[in-house]
Structure 1
Amino acid sequence: MENEMQENNIKVYDDRVEVVYTSGGVGCLLTAGGIMFLASLFILFYIVPTSGVVRAFIGVIIGGIGFLFISTMLIKVLRAILTGKAVYTVQDGYFKGKNKAVRIDEITDMKWAGSSLKYLAIKTTNKKTIKLSSYNLVPEEKVNQVINDYVVPYATPEFKENWNKRMSNRGA
């Protein structure tokens, strides 16, 4: 297979196009997550035991929520990293995420959603919504570029109209 590297996050092969994460991006994400995880543990096991009742109560709430939230996010990201570098793939008429795929000619709308972990919410012709997570491993701009170049030309007129309207509003 011919491999032509266009940009850091986009790989174009003869039979597919992949949006991949970079090692540097993953390193930064895991380092920040690890620091926040350790900060939660520090609050729970160092600050709370040596504090008064009110301060300990607040520490347990902050440290507990931080611990649960950060550990859940780290597990999801680590699981995504261990399943390969490609976050999104366009191949054989399908737009694929890590776990799910949708036929390009069945997509009616697609938009970014999510607050902690970004994902693409894809609406299909049979009224289903499919979520394909980016795990915050790749920049939205690179994914949007792949969608513009490799998905929109083969999509339904409804999707083309929705996508173009959404992308033209981004600059405003």
Structure 2
Amino acid sequence: MENKIEENNIKIYDDRVEVVYTSGGVGCMLTGGGIMFLASLFILFYIVPTSGFVRAFIGVIIGGFGALFIGMVLFKVVGALLTGKAVYTVQDGYFKGKNKAVKIDEITDMKWAGSSLKYLAIKTTNRKTVKLSSYNLVPEEKVNQVINDYVIPNATPEFKKNWNKRMSNKGA
């Protein structure tokens, strides 16, 4: 299993193709998220206790939601980092995320979704929707490139049509 070609976020092996995160991207994400989390805690534990009622009330709302939201996102991202560098893998007729896999010939549609953490929403032939998160660790363009090059050639005609329609509208 020798690494043939290595692009910034794409690694191609003899038996699989992986979309991986880079250390620089992860460092920036964790640094930014860590600073926002600490700012939320600063608001909660330093600003709020020394403020008047209205300012303290607003501080609790901002600091509380900030700490909870950013803390949950950081927790998910760190959990994903601990499971390996590959965010998405194409192998043995499957498109795999960190925790789930979908058979390529069962995919009918795939699109990007999510607001804080982007994920691929994949619809299958048995009408199930599978969500494979990118944890915002890899660029959409690199994932789209892997899908175009390694998933679409083995996909169903319905998926090819839906994907081509979605990608042709992206530039407009």
TM-score by length of 2: 0.99
**Counterpart-to-counterpart distance in 2, 1:20 and 1:165:** 26
**Counterpart-to-counterpart distance in 2, 1:29 and 1:147:** 25
Query: CA-to-partner distance for each residue in 1:113-146, whole Å, 9 max, x for gaps?
Result: 0000000000000000000000000000000000
CA RMSD of aligned residues (A): 0.5
**Secondary structure, in 3 states, of the residue corresponding to 1:83?**
coil
How much has 1:7 moved relative to structure 2?
Answer: 1.1
**Secondary structure, in 3 states, of the residue corresponding to 1:108?**
strand
Q: Which amino acid aligns with 1:101?
A: A
Q: Which residue of 2 aligns with 1:147?
A: 147
**Counterpart-to-counterpart distance in 1, 2:127 and 2:12:** 31
TM-score by length of 1: 0.99
Query: CA-to-partner distance for each residue in 1:47-75, whole Å, 9 max, x for gaps?
Result: 10110000000000000000000000000
Q: Which amino acid aligns with 2:86?
A: A
Q: Which residue of 2 aligns with 1:119?
A: 119
**Secondary structure, in 3 states, of the residue corresponding to 2:57?**
helix
Q: Which residue of 1 aligns with 2:87?
A: 87
Q: Which residue of 1 aligns with 2:159?
A: 159
Q: Which residue of 2 aligns with 1:38?
A: 38
Q: Which amino acid aligns with 2:30?
A: L
**Counterpart-to-counterpart distance in 2, 1:28 and 1:122:** 29
**Counterpart-to-counterpart distance in 2, 1:34 and 1:65:** 15
**Counterpart-to-counterpart distance in 1, 2:76 and 2:8:** 23
Q: Which amino acid aligns with 2:148?
A: N
Q: Which residue of 1 aligns with 2:105?
A: 105
**Counterpart-to-counterpart distance in 2, 1:97 and 1:134:** 8
Query: Where in structure 2 are there 5+ consecutive unaligned residues?
Result: none
How much has 1:5 moved relative to structure 2?
Answer: 3.3
Q: Which amino acid aligns with 1:108?
A: T
Query: CA-to-partner distance for each residue in 1:15-68, whole Å, 9 max, x for gaps?
Result: 000000000000000000000000000100111011000000000000000000
**Secondary structure, in 3 states, of the residue corresponding to 1:8?**
coil
**Counterpart-to-counterpart distance in 2, 1:138 and 1:32:** 16
How much has 1:78 moved relative to structure 2?
Answer: 0.2
Q: Which residue of 2 aligns with 1:74?
A: 74
How much has 1:13 moved relative to structure 2?
Answer: 0.1
**Counterpart-to-counterpart distance in 2, 1:55 and 1:85:** 43
Structure 1 runs (4+) greater than 4 angstroms displaced: none
- How many residue pairs are counted as aligned between the two chains? 172
How much has 1:2 moved relative to structure 2?
Answer: 1.6
